[in-house]
Amino acid sequence: MQHRTGMRVRTDFHVIARDGGLACRCRGIEVSASGIVIDRGRRIRRSDERLLVDLELRLPERIRAIRTQARPIWSMGSRQALRFVTMSDADRLTLAEHVDLQSLRGVGVC
């Protein structure tokens, strides 16, 4: 069952996920204005399923990272989907612009 709202696109940028005191370098592989799918580069463990995860999104067209908190939604293999819980309006707009740019490049997700 899928409950998506808004446009979602394929992408490829660095993400740092902080689970408590541990930082994990990941790749953002799909993104929308409301959430992200990351590839952790290894199988997802129970410790990756915390209630909230601090994320730093390092978009290629931005100098400053977008900082947000997200809630895990699902995981499969090394991939994990997260829904953004806290994000400033300016950062959400920046993320929406990234989605639009990727969409214009023709890298949308079905």
Q: How much is the average pLDDT of 80-108? A: 85
Which residues face 107 on adjacent strands? Answer: none
pTM to 2 decimal places = 0.84
Going along the chain from its start, the domains and CATH numbers come out as 10-102 (2.40.10.220)
The pLDDT value recorded for residue 4 is 46
More confident residue, 7 or 1: 7
Token pair of 110, please?
Answer: 């079905």
- Residue 3: pLDDT band (50, 70, 90) is very low
Q: Which residue has the tokens 């969409």?
A: 103
Q: Is 45 exposed, middle or buried (0-12, 13-18, 19+ CB in 10 A)?
A: exposed
33-69 pLDDT, tens digit each = 889 999 998 888 776 667 899 999 999 888 899 999 9
Taking 3-state DSSP, the helix, strand and coil percentages for the chain, each rounded to the nearest 5, stand at 15, 45, 35
